[in-house]
């Protein structure tokens, strides 16, 4: 019974934090990358605003959607962890804690997802069973 609760918790974390990130943050960045002016984005670590926006879009939309599906879960969590760490500790480093709070909450959730793994309710499990490797 405890394992199923952990699997349910993994599902909740993946769907809530992946879904909210994709819908509230990633989609707009992805659309801006494809149709808008990507030069109006912070230049992170001197990579240029277009590269910074492309990396943020990839993490916040593509990787977040992969989390929702439970597909490549641990690998998808890594760019999200990096993006939220950059947001919390670099982009908003001079801001008060209240301004960094959301990035820190997402960061904590993505670290937890990485550590817990995809759980039973995931495409990773379905694919693993078909390949005989499990989750």
Return the closest-CA partner of residue 67 out of 103, 109, 130. Answer: 109
**Confidence band, pLDDT 50/70/90 cuts, at residue 134:** low
Return the closest-CA partner of residue 125 out of 19, 17, 3. Answer: 3
**Confidence band, pLDDT 50/70/90 cuts, at residue 1:** low
* Residue 91 clears pLDDT 70, i.e. is over it: yes
Domain ranges of the chain: 2-131
Q: Are 37 and 53 in contact (CB under 8 A)?
A: no
**Confidence band, pLDDT 50/70/90 cuts, at residue 135:** low
């Amino acid at each position: 019974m405890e394992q199923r609760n952990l699997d349910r918790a993994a599902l909740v974390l993946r769907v809530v934090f992946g879904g909210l990130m994709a819908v509230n943050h990633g989609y707009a960045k992805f659309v801006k990358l494809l149709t808008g002016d990507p030069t109006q984005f912070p230049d992170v670590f001197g990579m240029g605003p277009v590269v910074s926006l492309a990396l943020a879009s990839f993490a916040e939309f593509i990787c977040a959607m992969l989390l929702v599906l439970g597909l490549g879960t641990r690998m998808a969590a890594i760019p999200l962890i990096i993006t939220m760490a950059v947001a919390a500790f670099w982009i908003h480093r001079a801001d008060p804690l209240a301004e960094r709070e959301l990035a820190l909450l997402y960061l904590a959730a993505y670290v937890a997802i990485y550590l817990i793994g995809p759980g039973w309710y995931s495409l990773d499990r379905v694919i693993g069973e078909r390949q005989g490797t499990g989750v």
